[in-house]
Amino acid sequence: MEDDNKRTEYYEPIEFVAEAGDEGRTLRDVLRKRIGISRRLMVRLKTSEEGLSVNGQKVWPNHKLAEGDVISLRMEAESSETILPQPMELDIVFEDEHLLVLNKPAGLIVHPTTGHYLNTLANGVMHYWQEKGERVRFRPVHRLDEHTSGLVVVAKHSLAQQQLSAQMAEGTVVKEYRTFVYGRPPEADGRIDTPIGRQTEDPHRRVVREDGAQSLTFYRVTETYGDQASAVDVRLGTGRTHQIRVHMTHIGCPIIGDSYYSEERWNESELARCVEGIIERQALHACRLVFRHPVTGDEMRLEATLPEDMRLLEQELGKLTKD
């Protein structure tokens, strides 16, 4: 008799209907055409007892389809057993059976690292799913620096992760940030196209260098506070580590509160003294994401309002134009 405790659990099926153009084509070909399914994921589905079915019957990837066939994919349920669940207040922006989008506060690491096993976003999410009775593996599609706040997307299963990662690689995901910087950028609407690499003396620090990876940042100045500071909306063309922080410093406008990449002339300025105590981290917030839903294909437009410290900073900077 089978032990119920060892029975494989599955997520809810993801279904597609074969169209006229799919007639006579193999299931493998149609899934590659329809959703760009990877070879690795196809192997996982093929070897899973309930992974692939057509009209309710288990099939192999070379099964020939007819118009109207109902294709069903079922991923085996997984969990991140090495991530300890930890009660935590979460700001959930969107959730369905395929993905979870959160507004991460500043000061929180996304995923556990060596020597840092608790107090991460992953710990809080695992506890949240555990309380809901969901068996899900933590799969962040992208990450934010510890002291950057804003939107983070977590895939709930391997298909969603693959689809979203493919969009990231294709550059079709729009990632926008709001930041407050010292000074005034050289253009009101500009782009920074300079390579970024590790600094030789400090491998954790990134700098603009000729032999670095190609890096592209678009920015738009939305408000200026005299010549002392600016509010800037930033859109990433690439996703390098610390990219926005490095690029803004490169054009002479380091992010307010960013002690790691700031410049001495700004650190010693009157403005730095004015905002001291208002914000204790880089004033950088991932405020907007636009992407296609990994299963339905619907356009997703998600936003996260500015956190309290950046709102207070904005108010303080606004006084500069009134004085």
- What is the C-alpha separation between 60 and 48, in angstroms, rounded? 11
Give the integer Cα–Cα distance in Å for 263 and 116: 30
CA–CA separation, 256 and 192 (whole Å): 19
Q: Which CATH number fits domain 92-170: 3.90.1150.10, 3.30.565.10, 3.30.2350.10, 3.40.50.720?
A: 3.30.2350.10
CATH code 3.30.2350.10 region(s) in the chain: 92-170, 174-321
So what's the pLDDT on residue 3?
A: 46
> What is the predicted pLDDT for the residue at 83?
85
- pLDDT at position 174 is 95
Q: H or E element: which one contains 35?
A: helix 27-35
**Torsion sign, CA atoms 251, 256, 259, 265:** positive
The answer to whether 18 and 65 are in contact (CB under 8 A) is yes
- Mean pLDDT per 10-residue section of the chain, whose length is 323 residues: 54 82 89 79 81 87 90 75 88 96 96 83 94 89 94 93 90 96 95 95 92 96 94 95 96 94 85 88 97 93 97 92 60
Which contacts of 54-59 are long-range, i.e. CB under 8 A and separated by 24 or more positions?
54/27, 59/27
Upper half-sphere CA count for residue 136 (Cβ side, 13 Å): 31
Q: Supply 221's token pair.
A: 């100045």
Instruction: Say how far apart CA 132 and CA 118 lie, in whole Å.
Output: 20
**Which pLDDT score, from 0 to 100, does residue 80 have?**
66
Q: Would you name the residues annotated as active-site residues?
A: 145
Which pLDDT score, from 0 to 100, does residue 4 have? 47
**pLDDT given for residue 173 in this prediction:** 94
CATH architecture under which domain 174-321 falls: 2-Layer Sandwich (3.30)
Per CATH, the homologous superfamily of domain 7-73 is RNA-binding S4 domain (3.10.290.10)
Position 16 scores a pLDDT of 82
Q: What's the pTM?
A: 0.81
Per-residue pLDDT at 32: 83
Could you tell me which residues come within 8 angstroms of residue 149 by beta carbon, excluding any fewer than 6 positions away? 103, 104, 105, 106, 284, 285, 286, 304, 307, 310
Q: Which two tokens stand for residue 149?
A: 């706040």
Domain(s) labelled CATH 3.10.290.10 in the chain stretch across 7-73
What's the alpha-carbon Rg for the chain, to the nearest Å?
A: 23
**CA nearest 71: which of 22, 118, 141?**
22
List, as one string, the DSSP characters of 147-177.
Answer: T-EEEEEEESSHHHHHHHHHHHHHT--EEEE
Residue 237's Cα: distance from chain center in Å? Answer: 14
